[in-house]
Amino acid sequence: MPSFLFSPLNRPVNNWAGKRIWLIGASSGIGAALAKAYLDNGATVMLSARRAEQLEAIAAKHPNARILPFDVQDARAWVEAQNHIKHNLGGLDLILFCAAKYQPERSWEMERSDIANTLQINLNSVYEGVCAALPGMLKQNSGGIGIIASVAGYIGLPNASVYGPSKAALINLAELLYCDLHSRNINVYLINPGFVKTELTEKNNFLMPALQMPEQAAAAIIKGMEKGQFEIHFPRRFTTILKLIQMMPYRWRFFLIDRFVTQQG
Ligand SMILES: NC(=O)c1ccc[n+]([C@@H]2O[C@H](COP(=O)([O-])OP(=O)(O)OC[C@H]3O[C@@H](n4cnc5c(N)ncnc54)[C@H](OP(=O)(O)O)[C@@H]3O)[C@@H](O)[C@H]2O)c1
């Protein structure tokens, strides 16, 4: 059997000790849980988000934590952050994008300013971060880029009018980054969580099947990276169903969405 059929798509991470990680969106939810887990495993972690006090609270318990609060919508702040990382960490082994904005809304409820704002945070900021981190990684001939998208990016779902398309774009971006960067020794991870109990999903007033805690999400992400997976999706009992729906003809897909999603929300 050819080895490319079975070998991991990324280089497995065997040891987090001493790894330099920049977490964007580390003040709450999955990002905060990831920060604690990486720090417990001995990594040096730069924590970014707007709420400095939340970042400080995490960093206070870990000598290897640093904080770098900024708003990901601020292009100048990205340039300053890039310089800060260079001077303080010397380089990066992993940049992980966790920042996002989500507003449950049907298409007739969308507002222009809110659309732009959500796309800026969910999508444009990832481009900013990739542009900030990639030159250094290419130069050192190693590194990793992790993008948290969502199963909401698999298929067009009512209520995710702006969030869903932003996540679909991130899935596409992660795929092309993998193709570009794999041969340059840079790991690229596409992370597609199902429902996780965080501030982001607090706004949902519908049933969230297979809901997980942020610590479970962080453990699944770290395990996926250790195994060298490209797509890290969880919980599988939920994500597998969505993957099957994604493969269905539109007629069946729309029927199921109408029956189980549209009529619920
Ligand atoms: N929860 C779920 O069910 C679920 C499912 C699939 C995918 N995801 C994805 O998982 C990732 C983490 O989400 P979460 O559920 O953990 O939500 P969360 O608790 O709301 O975390 C979002 C993070 O993004 C940061 N952020 C938002 N706007 C920002 C801005 N303008 N500048 C800098 N940071 C900003 C927030 O920090 P500040 O407010 O302090 O800036 C916070 O740290 C997101 O990409 C989300 O789309 C979540």
CATH architecture observed for domain 3-262: 3-Layer(aba) Sandwich (3.40)
How close is the Cα of 60 to the center of ligand 1, in Å?
Answer: 21
Tell me the mean pLDDT in the region 75-79: 96
How close is the Cα of 124 to the center of ligand 1, in Å?
Answer: 14
Contact 104, 203 (CB under 8 A): yes
Find out whether the beta carbon of 225 lies less than 6 Å from any atom of ligand 1. no
Residue 13 confidence class, pLDDT cut points 50, 70, 90: very high
pLDDT for 3 beyond 80: no
pLDDT for 223 beyond 60: yes
Mean pLDDT of the chain: 96
Find out whether the beta carbon of 202 lies less than 6 Å from any atom of ligand 1. no
Residue 80 confidence class, pLDDT cut points 50, 70, 90: very high
How close is the Cα of 149 to the center of ligand 1, in Å?
Answer: 11
At residue 264, the pLDDT reads 60
Atom 32 (ligand 1) nearest CA: 71
Tell me the mean pLDDT in the region 31-44: 98
Query: What residue segments make up the domains of the chain, in order of their start?
Result: 3-262
At residue 1, the pLDDT reads 66
User: Following DSSP, what letter does each residue of 104-161 receive, concatenated?
Assistant: -B-GGG--HHHHHHHHIIIIIHHHHHHHHHHHHHHHHT-EEEEEE--GGGTS--TTBT
Atom 41 (ligand 1) nearest CA: 50
pLDDT for 135 beyond 70: yes
Tell me the mean pLDDT in the region 100-123: 96
Tell me the mean pLDDT in the region 174-193: 98
Quick one: which atom of ligand 1 is closest to the CA of 97? 45
* pTM of the entire predicted model: 0.97
Find out whether the beta carbon of 72 lies less than 6 Å from any atom of ligand 1. yes
Strands across the sheet with 44-48, in order? 65-67, 44-48, 20-24, 94-97, 143-148, 186-193, 231-234
